[in-house]
Structure 1
Amino acid sequence: MDYALVQRPKVDGLRTAGTFKFGIEEEYFLVDAETKSVVRNMSQPFFEAAKAATDGRISPEFLQPQIEVISSPHDNVADARAELRALRRTISTVAAEHGLAILAAGTHPTAAWRSAQQTNKERYDSVMHDLQMIGQRDLLCGLHVHVELPDPDQRIDVMYRMLPYLPLFLALSTSSPFWQSRRTGLKGYRLAAYDELPRTGVPDLFRTQEEFDAYVTALVRAGVIADSSYIWWAIRPSLLNPTLELRAPDSCTLVEDAIAIAALYRTVARHLYVNPWRNADLDAVARAIIVENKWQAQRYGVHATFAAEEGAMTVAEMVERVICDTAADAAALGCTAEINRCRAIVGSGTSADAQLAVFEAHIQSGSPGTALRAVTEWIAAATLQ
């Protein structure tokens, strides 16, 4: 992200609402254009050409079959959509010139993690040394959304109060029903694999910046991590930018789904910032319920039923409640239509539902390999819709 780190005035009393600029990072699989199988090694000629074509808004990832795109900061959702679509199409065009293609999904249906090679970079060398085989298994792609708060010092407070929404963002994004050429039985397998890593999952109940800083300081002093960028929770304060970064979602196959989730997260961030009473009393019971709901989202996607102290709630019901609660915030940010799309995601299903439907349609008359090939072809086509 290209946010400038600047001093912002603090306002006594009511919190003022700013523009809540946001940016999107998407991870894609790099595949052979013909077979749609992941490449073993990153093509440097491709990467250099794609970097030039996108003005540097592409980055290598931990493993070589993956790339990441990084949007500009935006305060207009239409501009973010246009840029994200342009980035996908530009990279796809360059990839085609090198016999490659991109797939946007949380997992690649047939990729074998044992064949993936680590990207040559000092930071990644250190991470792989620490994680060992767990790092080799990190052949996963996510959607990360950064939102800048008017007062960055409030990021830990907003993160704490954002925790109940994490399962919803995940459910809406699920795009990883396959792993190692097998149906996993989950709509979102990605986090099942990713949560093998340390310092992942739902954050603990940090209430203040001081508490978070004390945690990071203890780990740094012990030599466990170099800095807070090695904390990979489902949501975290960015080290480099004055943003709160959502990391729970799978990489969305459809651009419109990615934009809807980004808009919803941005809207909820604004709502929590200007309403500091919302979710201000989370405790150990609440966090335990959030962890359970995260599992329900992984297992069932938008068909999940979430637990709450007052009873059960479907994903559809939670979407309606959140849209109702944050209507004024969505209107202020100009993204009412985008968060309303979350209703359509619930109604028609996520990428995971579509992938499974394609698989079932082809397994009836073909082999599992043929059906999986059809799934990868669908992902490749839908990535550019």
Structure 2
Amino acid sequence: MTVPFAPSARSSVGIEWELMLADGQTGDLVGRAPEIMPALEEATALERHTVTAELLTNTVEVTSGVGDTVAAAVDDISDAIDAVRTQTDPLGIELMCAGSHPFARWYDQQVTDKTRYEKLIERTQWWGRNMMIWGIHVHVGIEDVNKVFPIIHALTGYIPHLQALSASSPFWAGERTGYASNRALVFQQLPTTGLPWQLSTWAEYEAYLDDMERTGVIADSTEVRWDIRPAPRWGTIEIRACDGMSTLPELAAVASLVQTLVESFSRELDEGRELVALQPWYTRENKWRAARYGLDADVIVGRDGTQVPVREHLRETFERLEPLAAELKCAKEFAELSAILDRGASYQRQVAVAEAADGDLREVARSLIREFRNGPTLREHVGLGRLEAPRPI
């Protein structure tokens, strides 16, 4: 099987963001995407951004065009959100995002009427129906197909860093799970998800796809849902390891980290250096640790088993990549990464709100709605000030 890898501009950026539709008063999910999608599809038909339906009717996905910079892609996302709000605001529907909803349950949700989703649920059954998860996908353009798998394997060493920064699913169906990212472990229950196989060349990837299609596991490459995967149609590497980001600045920050990491690895390959790939048993352990402990995880960062706190390694990484971020014109977005460490990731803010509200998870949902509109503030959550009582929506 031959799978062409489309030409793309080096280190160009595309972003996808899955958003929940919620009742403005209760914070519960509402399955009203079928009501708003026809008008949205018509309104965005000629735009750079898109708005599409997802597996569940309580979700829409906004997607950017191809951006030369993170800012350009984020501008598209912002325009897409504005378009969605033209439909949702009059209906009293709010938008929010996290890796999971604090209290909604799968049996109250409806699957979008689409053959692809019906087949997925038929095959995966209970686990498929439990896929009440939301994430972001960041695409980065790769100009040479021979770079794809070396960069994927180098990036896999940073899955725990990306997962810890984005972790936003501490609650599941009304219970506190004890995990920063419950989504990460739920999603890997589906076939063809989880960590990428350690393939070395594009030819090996083509052989893998051939095996999977021939045995009926997948219909095409889009059904390979690894945490980091090639996207042959776009000529990109797609990072899918992150929970849904709760605010637009945080989304932009993580996208800037992905872009700078990819470009840094690409330059190492240009200079003839071999990229370091951790042993798969280390990457698996790192993923679990980040899902469990988030920004308090210790992660394995070397083939010799060296372990460091992920916060410490993140700050070292930020310092190392900061000049490159300026060169790629994403310095402003990149600076927000340190702010996430300072004020706390979404999972930490959600837990703090729940504790301040005596465990009332409706307040967590309301805080996520407020954050999506206004962004997090230090005094509202776990930053430098004390936690204040949640305000009405």
| TM-score normalised according to structure 2 size | 0.87
Which amino acid in 2 is paired with 1:21? S
CA distance in 2, matches of 1:295, 1:259: 25
1:37 to 5, 12, 28: 28
For 1:341-377, what per-residue CA distance to the aligned partner results, in whole angstroms no more than 9, with x for missing partners? Answer: 21221121111111111100010xxxx4xx2111111
SS at match of 1:326: helix
Matched, 1:148 2:146: no
Report the counterpart of residue 101 of structure 1 in structure 2.
94
Match of 2:363 among 364, 374, 384: 374
1:23-34 equivalences in 2 (<5 Å): 23-34=14-25
Specify the alignment match of 1:353 in structure 2. 348
2:150 counterpart (152, 157, 164): 157
Q: Aligned letter for 2:339?
A: A
Check the 8 A contact 2:145/2:202 in 1, yes or no.
no
SS across alignment from 1:63: coil
Structure-to-structure mapping, 1:181-200, within 5 angstroms: 181-200=174-193
Distance in 2, Cα, partners of 1:87 & 1:109: 25
* Matched position secondary structure for 1:204: coil
Q: Equivalents in 1 of 2:175, 2:55: separation in Å?
A: 24
Determine if contact 1:161/1:278 at 8 Å carries over to the other structure: no
Q: How many residues align?
A: 364
1:38, distance to aligned residue in structure 2 (A): 0.9
- DSSP 3-state at the match of 2:133: coil
1:91 matched to which residue of 2? 84
Measured in 2, the distance between the counterparts of 1:342 and 1:176 equals 19
Mapped contact 2:7–2:143 kept (Cα < 8 A): no
User: How far apart are residue 328 of structure 1 and its match?
Assistant: 4.1
1:180-259 equivalences under 5 Å are 180-259=173-252
Return the offset for 1:43. 4.3
Percent of aligned pairs with the same residue? 31
The alignment partner of 2:226 has SS state of coil
8 A Cα contact 2:15 2:74, kept in partner: no
Per-residue CA shift, 1:150-200, capped at 9, x if unaligned? 224422221122110111111100111110011111111111211111111
What displacement does 1:318 show?
1.4
Counterpart residue number, 2:383: none
Contact 1:189-1:298 at 8 Å conserved across structures: yes
Q: CA deviation at 1:279?
A: 6.1
Q: What is the alpha-carbon distance in structure 1 between the residues aligned to residue 168 and residue 86 of structure 2?
A: 23
8 Å Cα contact 1:315/1:346 also seen in 2: no
The answer to which of 327-336 and 120-129 deviates more is 327-336
- On the 8 A contact 2:131/2:186 being kept in 1, the answer is yes
The CA distance in 2 between the partners of 1:204 and 1:325, in whole Å, is 28
Gaps of 5+ in 2: 375-393
Structure 1 stretch 151-160 or stretch 163-172: which is displaced more? 151-160
Shift, 1:6, TM fit: 5.5
Corresponding position of 2:40: 50
The match for 1:14 is none
1:15 counterpart residue number: none
Whole-Å separation in 1 of the counterparts to 2:310 and 2:77: 27
Q: Deviation at 1:339?
A: 2.1
Amino acid at match of 1:320: R
RMSD (CA atoms): 2.1
Q: Calculate the TM-score normalised by the size of structure 1.
A: 0.89
Q: Which amino acid is 1:340 matched to?
A: A
Give 1:201 deviation, angstroms. Answer: 1.4
